């Protein structure tokens, strides 16, 4: 077993390897196969010590503070820590094990205390405050970096009194512990549940692709027959197709009660403490609530703006969902049943109504959406928009055999970066889909090209068979690849501004906008081909698919918006009292908005990883809807140009959105692309909610 230095990780502070921006591997990709769990601890310790030394030197500098010796110096510091943490935290989400989880529990609070020591350092804050942009004649990018550092320091507590700073640091360390525990509990609940399908009757209604996926899930766990797991790519189609209402009810109950099963993996007390600590931190920083703190540095700027958007969408969505419910209840009665529609019935009867109203069968669609074709569709769209090329690499390190790697290039052959695709569900991976970076683009220490990964949880087909996607799965693939392009096309000098490091209610614009190309007939006619025959999707089926785009959108909008409203309500209304009954608070919040009983939240509070595994989307789950206002309007720019691949529009899109990182305020960035800010009307039209 190689030691940490042999694996390319820093082991000793004096080892210059932690100063390097790239590993000595093809394309500087992390040497995954050489890195063992025991390498991380010494690597973290060395990287933390090195970064602390660098920061101390910046703070103790006796020369007058300048952008170069203070801000740029901070941007150059901590490269080893970025590398080690980049590899480690990507793997704890996508391919973890008990050893990594133990390290995660230990290292999280250390990293939090390390960050607090930087942002609460009075000497460092004094130097950053003293940098004079006018006197130095700083350029726009340097001014943006300086401004962002000052905002970061203030939001971290740099201007507080010593006692308050101490408490802020304690809160940060504890929050790290709690966020890690929340995530690990959720993964434990997800990976431990299986619903065995032991007889042909248990499999009733399941189409061949779902039976194959359930068989593959059983084989992966060393079990006989078929099982349904809590991977969304298995449980959602099971809820659609299974004719066994009792099994649908069991599966749905397990899915919605993740993190709420009692015992060591119960997340209710953890969520309550996180809310309490967030409220306390916000008060220390002078804000009325955590929601006010969180939205102060976003496009929305205030909870009023975000909740106003949610209200504007909730009312028509709830009305539409009521109409949908009535149609589903009628379908139940038409079958001769007298039960009342429940949440575990909705997807099953929605599929039946869709077949009746649109003559559209989900299993028929999936036959034309094999994973390989959809990957190529996403790549081809990027090629036509931005001139990118994709070359799959065989001989490069990877952290799991299923991971695939592509070199992304410009038309002139120059390297854009590496793209990793990790598409299949497994017990060592948390649920959901996301984009992350093993290395971010920048020029200050480089030039450095990015290494970007998309992680999915598609149900893997048995060996030799094609993995087939639902249209929602294909949309998820395009969504995450939109995030990937945001990281890959980044064109900035300073790491702080790179790629997706933008306001969180802007970060979903590149991803949600990219989804639009999947729905275009021009793209589907080229890439939606039968997994066995290679024949294009028949035009009649294509037209039915496109005609049904807004089907069930009342349900989809309600389940999402309810989660966003509960998130905002928790962080606005909860005063952070100890022992908060989180499910009761959730239930009361839903009662106040008259949540339809037949629809569940997309993410219930005890498993709402977006808002409790970290602060990223806390009081910010509304961001998807906010960005959707932008993306619906942004795609209209291509329609108005008369070409969904219009070169001039695509050039502006790359310059001001995908490639710009955080060079500009997001409102300025969007206006530079579109010429104005959008209205809500394109979103309502897109979701079929317009009057």
Q: Which helix (H) or strand (E) holds 174?
A: helix 162-192
Residue 514 · residue 379 · CB < 8 Å = no
Q: Is 158 exposed, middle or buried (0-12, 13-18, 19+ CB in 10 A)?
A: buried
Instruction: Return the C-alpha torsion angle 408, 411, 416, 417, nearest 10.
Output: 20
Q: Where does 359-431 have alpha helices with state H? A: 362-366, 371-386
- Largest distance between two CA atoms of the chain: 84
Residue 138 · residue 67 · CB < 8 Å = yes
DSSP 478: H
* DSSP codes, 614-654: SSTTTTTTTHHHHHHHHHHHHHHHHHHHT-TT-HHHHHHHI
Assign 3-class secondary structure to 592-609: HCCCCCCCCCCCCHHHCH
SS3 588: helix
Residue 563, preceding bond cis, omega within 30 degrees? no
d(CA 425, CA 402): 10
d(CA 148, CA 142): 10
Q: Is 675 exposed, middle or buried (0-12, 13-18, 19+ CB in 10 A)?
A: exposed
Q: Which helix (H) or strand (E) holds 454?
A: strand 451-458
Half-sphere exposure of 602 (CA within 13 A, CB side): 19
- Give me the catalytic one of 54, 324, 362, 480: 480
Closest CA to 610 of 312, 336, 294: 294
Strands 451-458 and 226-228: unpaired
User: Does the annotation count 480 as an active-site position?
Assistant: yes
Q: Which helix (H) or strand (E) holds 548?
A: none
- Given strand 434-439, what is the order of strands in its sheet? 389-393, 404-409, 415-424, 451-458, 434-439
d(CA 407, CA 417): 6
User: What are the C-alpha distances in Å from 411 to residues 389, 418, 483, 487?
Assistant: 7, 15, 21, 18
Residue 292 · residue 285 · CB < 8 Å = no
Report the catalytic residues: 480
């Amino acid at each position: 077993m190689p030691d940490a230095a042999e694996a390319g990780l820093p082991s000793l502070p004096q080892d210059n390897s932690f100063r390097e921006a790239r590993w000595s591997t093809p394309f500087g990709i992390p040497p995954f196969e050489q890195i063992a769990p025991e390498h991380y601890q010494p690597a973290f310790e060395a990287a933390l010590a090195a970064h602390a030394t660098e920061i101390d030197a910046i703070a103790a500098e006796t020369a007058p503070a300048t952008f170069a010796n203070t801000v740029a110096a901070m941007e150059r510091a901590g490269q080893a820590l970025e590398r080690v943490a980049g590899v480690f935290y990507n793997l704890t989400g996508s391919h973890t094990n008990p050893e990594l989880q133990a390290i995660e529990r230990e290292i999280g609070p250390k990293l939090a205390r390390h960050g607090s020591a930087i942002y609460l350092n009075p000497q460092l804050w004094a130097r950053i405050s003293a940098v004079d942009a006018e006197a130095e004649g700083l350029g726009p990018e340097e001014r943006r970096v300086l401004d962002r550092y000052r905002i970061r320091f203030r939001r971290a507590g740099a201007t507080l009194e010593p006692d308050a700073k101490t408490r802020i640091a304690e809160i940060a360390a504890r929050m790290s512990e709690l966020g890690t525990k929340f995530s690990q509990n959720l993964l434990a609940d997800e990976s431990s549940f299986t619903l065995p399908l032991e007889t042909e009757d248990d499999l009733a209604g399941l189409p061949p692709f779902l039976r194959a996926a359930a068989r593959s899930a059983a084989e992966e766990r060393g079990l006989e027959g078929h099982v349904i797991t809590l991977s969304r790519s298995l449980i959602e189609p099971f809820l659609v197709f299974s004719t066994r209402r009792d099994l649908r009810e069991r599966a749905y109950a397990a899915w919605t009660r993740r993190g709420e099963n009692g015992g060591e993996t119960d997340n209710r007390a953890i969520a309550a403490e996180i809310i309490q600590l967030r409220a306390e931190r916000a008060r220390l920083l002078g804000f009325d609530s955590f929601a006010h703190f969180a939205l102060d540095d976003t496009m929305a700027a205030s909870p009023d703006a975000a909740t106003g958007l949610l209200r504007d969408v909730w009312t028509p969505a709830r009305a539409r969902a009521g109409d949908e419910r009535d149609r589903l209840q009628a379908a139940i009665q038409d079958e001769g049943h007298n039960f009342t529609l429940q949440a575990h019935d909705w997807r099953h009867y929605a599929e039946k109504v869709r077949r009746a109203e649109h003559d559209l069968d989900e299993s028929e669609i999936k036959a034309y959406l094999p994973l390989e074709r959809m990957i190529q569709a996403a790549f081809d769209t990027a090629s036509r928009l931005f001139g990118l090329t994709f070359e799959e690499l065989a001989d490069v390190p990877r952290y799991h055999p299923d991971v695939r790697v592509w070199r992304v290039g410009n038309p002139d052959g120059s390297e854009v970066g590496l793209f990793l695709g990790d598409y299949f569900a497994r017990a060592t991976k948390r649920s959901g889909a996301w984009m992350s970076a093993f290395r971010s683009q920048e020029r200050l220490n480089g030039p450095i090209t990015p290494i970007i990964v998309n992680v999915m949880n598609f149900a893997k087909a048995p060996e030799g068979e094609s993995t087939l996607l639902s249209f929602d799965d294909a949309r998820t693939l395009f969504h995450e690849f939109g995030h990937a392009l945001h990281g890959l096309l980044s064109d900035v000098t300073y790491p702080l501004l790179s790629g997706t490091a933008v306001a969180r209610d802007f970060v979903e614009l590149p991803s949600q906008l990219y989804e639009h190309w999947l729905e275009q007939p021009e793209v589907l006619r080229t890439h939606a081909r039968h997994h066995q025959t290679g024949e294009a999707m028949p035009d009649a089926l294509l037209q039915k698919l496109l005609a049904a785009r807004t089907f069930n959108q009342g349900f989809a909008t309600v389940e999402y918006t309810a989660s966003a409203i509960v998130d905002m309500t928790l962080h606005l209304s909860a005063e952070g009292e100890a022992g908060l009954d989180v499910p009761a608070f959730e239930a009361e919040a839903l009662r106040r908005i008259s949540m339809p009983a037949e629809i569940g939240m997309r993410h219930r509070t005890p498993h709402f990883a977006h808002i409790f595994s970290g602060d990223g989307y806390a009081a910010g789950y509304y961001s998807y809807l906010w960005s959707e206002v932008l993306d619906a309007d942004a795609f209209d720019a291509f329609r108005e140009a008369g070409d969904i691949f219009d070169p001039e529009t695509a050039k502006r899109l790359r310059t001001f959105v995908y490639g710009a990182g955080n060079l500009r305020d997001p409102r300025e960035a969007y206006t530079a692309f579109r010429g104005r800010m959008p209205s809500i009307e394109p979103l309502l039209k897109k979701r079929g909610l317009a009057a």
